Amino acid sequence: MGRTSSFEDLLEITSLKQLQEKTGNWFQSLTLLEAQKLQRHINGLGASTHNVKLGFIHTYTSDLLNPWLEFHASIHDIDLDIYHAPYGMNVFEAQAGSGLVQHNPDLTVFMLQREDLHPLIKQPVTGLSVEQQRSLKDDAVANVIKILKAFRHALHGRMVVTILPSRFSAETGMYDLQSEFSEVDWWSNVKKEISRQIDETLDSTAYMDLDSLLASVGRQQFFDLRYWYTTRYPFAAQAANLFARQLVSVVEVICKPKAKVIILDADNTMWGGVIGEDGINGIALGPDYPGNAFIDFQRRILDFKERGFILAICSKNNHQDVIEVLQNHPHQVLREDMFSALKINWEPKHINIQAIAKELNLGLDSFIFVDDSDYECGVVRKELPQVHVVQTPKKAVDIPYCLDNISRLEILSLTQEDKNKTQLYAQERQRKALQSKVSDGGGDIEEYLHSLQMEMSIELNAEHWVERLAQLTQKTNQFNLTTRRYSEQQVQEYISSNNWLVASFSLADAFGDSGVVGLLLIELQGPDAARIDTLLMSCRVIGRKAESAFLETVLTSLQQQGISLVRAEYIPTMKNKLVQDFYSNHQFSTSDNFAFERSLIEQKPLRADDFPMKISLAS
């Protein structure tokens, strides 16, 4: 009864954001019919913002997933255009002109079975010697990687590879793992090797492990063997529901703004109770209930920090009270230096969140705000609709898991840059401190820039940065002249091409190294002309003349190659007003403020010593 009435409540919802911000696995128990009903209700609220093309390469029935996929996509404001290739894992679909290549999917999903990797896997692997097992593993991995490479070559979008778990429990029974010939052990090595080789040799490709989905729902709930034996469709409703949800989260990560910051409330979010009233010894944070749930919650947040998310606190409290906990509470997991911004005061939260956005130079749509209070969540939802608001569940036991279903907190690849992010923003705080010291002492901005002792390293066609460069095109919104998004695969193509120049830079100074923060994609048009396709820079290095130094140095290099005319364009978006005058300020002429050009003969590029930094160029 409880569930039926809550389903009726879902049909009353009037904004998608309400559904998107619901915590927990509320959708997990919906029947197919309910999902379809709810989807129709959602469609009635208006057309989806995002359009995404999906492709499936599959060796078992995949199109029955469509209603589940469309359901989850509709919740996340996405309209899917789905293509299922004919049965089979063959390279025919990777050829030019195939249905899949013509569909040009933004995401191609491989739904494979273990047996597809090698014909011998149909037999029990426990019957093989250790040596035979090893060579079977190597051959199986080599087979799948070879075929994936053929698809990678033919497709532009992302790829996700899945392998259907075994319908059977372990071959050697309950104590399989103890056996020298353990099947579970063998299979986990196969998966590990596939993931490793995907990571090393295939761009924009991820391995999604369905065994972990199987573990969370259980084998009996995962498979519906009646459909498997009659229609080669393996999934029971709940498994189909959850699998579709996982695939749609990949789609979300592709098409939505990246989440970058998690802002936490303090009282009743990081710990139970109110620090100002209960005191450092009175709040619930420790080994006993409910303090242990809050420790788990903080532990979860630490996982997200490791994934590269930036942490901040926004709390209505006396500053010193919260700092006291961060510094001295024996069970506090998240310490002061793990946060990149702290707003602990009595200002309204939406004002504080805007201040954090300004301080970190990041857009509000990259923020996830976590708070227990109806009032605070309501205010932030109303004043800052771009922010994703998570209201922590009422029961302490549910709090540690309240961020588990937010796909924008999933990441498709982890770069070293991500891991260093908190440190980078801490360095930025120190720079700002120096800046105010210089200006308080009557110094000017030039003096400040020189005091930073900056060194810019520009690299041309740097293949080792391809992952980071693609990430920059996908994440950068404000300092981005054309906002064109590229996959790793596409960036790799530009790097390999003779008609394109891919330039990137990093900036080091007295406080640290920024990592790769700027990108120019230039198309060479004939012997003496070039077109700037993309020019972008991470906001963390803004205001240091890096953008000018980068552009002028690359233009010098073009000039040396005989280029005399450079064309460029500015494509306005909601976010990039910052750079609308960029080309006008860099000696480009325009008739309409969107298309620009600059003659390198008349408007010669500036030299390196015109800038307050050392510049090196490596190709």
Partner 1 sequence: MDTQEHVIQIVAETLNLSTSEINESSAMENLELWDSMAQVNLMMSIEQTFDLELDPEDFMKLNSVSNIVEYVDNQ
Spatial distance between the Cα atoms of 466 and 472, rounded to a whole number of angstroms = 10
Q: 241 is written with which tokens? A: 């529901």
Among 229, 289, 346, 594, binds partner 1 (CB under 8 A): 229
Number of CB atoms found within 10 A of residue 233's CB? 18
Nearer to partner 1, 36 or 126 (CB): 36
Nearer to partner 1, 227 or 500 (CB): 227
Nearer to partner 1, 70 or 252 (CB): 70
Does the footprint of partner 1 cover residue 43 (CB under 8 A)? no
Give me the least distance between CB of 239 and partner 1, in Å please: 12
Q: Which amino acid would we find at residue 286? A: G
Spatial distance between the Cα atoms of 36 and 363, rounded to a whole number of angstroms = 34
Region near partner 1 per CB under 8 A, out of 61-69, 190-198, 354-362, 544-552: 61-69
Does the footprint of partner 1 cover residue 26 (CB under 8 A)? no
Give me the least distance between CB of 88 and partner 1, in Å please: 18
Nearer to partner 1, 241 or 422 (CB): 241
| Pair 73, 248: CB distance under 8 Å | yes
Give me the least distance between CB of 40 and partner 1, in Å please: 8
Spatial distance between the Cα atoms of 504 and 24, rounded to a whole number of angstroms = 41
Does the footprint of partner 1 cover residue 67 (CB under 8 A)? yes
Does the footprint of partner 1 cover residue 280 (CB under 8 A)? no
Does the footprint of partner 1 cover residue 199 (CB under 8 A)? no
Half-sphere exposure of 177 (CA within 13 A, CB side): 2
| Pair 457, 468: CB distance under 8 Å | no
Is the alpha carbon torsion for 150, 152, 153, 154 positive or negative? positive
Nearer to partner 1, 5 or 230 (CB): 230
Does the footprint of partner 1 cover residue 83 (CB under 8 A)? no
Region near partner 1 per CB under 8 A, out of 33-41, 427-435, 455-463, 560-568: 33-41
Does the footprint of partner 1 cover residue 227 (CB under 8 A)? yes
Does the footprint of partner 1 cover residue 41 (CB under 8 A)? no
Among 192, 226, 358, 382, binds partner 1 (CB under 8 A): 226
Does the footprint of partner 1 cover residue 231 (CB under 8 A)? yes
Does the footprint of partner 1 cover residue 233 (CB under 8 A)? yes
Among 18, 63, 167, 347, binds partner 1 (CB under 8 A): 63
Which residue in 330, 361, 325, 324 sits closest to 478, CA to CA? 361
Spatial distance between the Cα atoms of 324 and 279, rounded to a whole number of angstroms = 10
For residue 139, the SS3 value is helix
Region near partner 1 per CB under 8 A, out of 25-33, 116-124, 149-157, 244-252: 25-33
The three-point CA angle 411-416-418 to 5° equals 45
Task: State in Å, rounded, how far the first CA of the chain is from the last one.
Answer: 68
Does the footprint of partner 1 cover residue 594 (CB under 8 A)? no
Among 1, 2, 33, 168, binds partner 1 (CB under 8 A): 33
Q: Radius of gyration of the chain from Cα atoms?
A: 27
Spatial distance between the Cα atoms of 277 and 145, rounded to a whole number of angstroms = 60
Nearer to partner 1, 64 or 412 (CB): 64
In the β-sheet with 500-509, what is the strand arrangement from edge to edge? 589-590, 595-599, 565-569, 529-537, 512-525, 500-509, 454-460, 613-618
Give me the least distance between CB of 498 and partner 1, in Å please: 47
Binding mask 236-255 for partner 1 (x = CB under 8 A): -x------------------
Region near partner 1 per CB under 8 A, out of 222-230, 316-324, 473-481, 579-587: 222-230
Nearer to partner 1, 245 or 388 (CB): 245
Q: 248 is written with which tokens? A: 């749609």
Among 102, 230, 320, 498, binds partner 1 (CB under 8 A): 230
Spatial distance between the Cα atoms of 519 and 559, rounded to a whole number of angstroms = 18
Q: 336 is written with which tokens? A: 């002061």
Does the footprint of partner 1 cover residue 618 (CB under 8 A)? no
Spatial distance between the Cα atoms of 604 and 559, rounded to a whole number of angstroms = 9
Spatial distance between the Cα atoms of 423 and 70, rounded to a whole number of angstroms = 40
Does the footprint of partner 1 cover residue 608 (CB under 8 A)? no
Q: Site size for partner 1, by CB under 8 A?
A: 15
Region near partner 1 per CB under 8 A, out of 60-68, 133-141, 215-223, 540-548: 60-68
Residues 133-192 that bind partner 1 (CB under 8 A): none
Which residue in 478, 476, 469, 474 sits closest to 500, CA to CA? 469
Q: What phi, psi does 521 have (nearest 5°)?
A: -110, 120
Spatial distance between the Cα atoms of 402 and 393, rounded to a whole number of angstroms = 7
Nearer to partner 1, 5 or 320 (CB): 5
Which residue ranges make up the site for partner 1 (CB under 8 A)? 31-33, 36-37, 63-64, 67, 226-227, 229-231, 233, 237
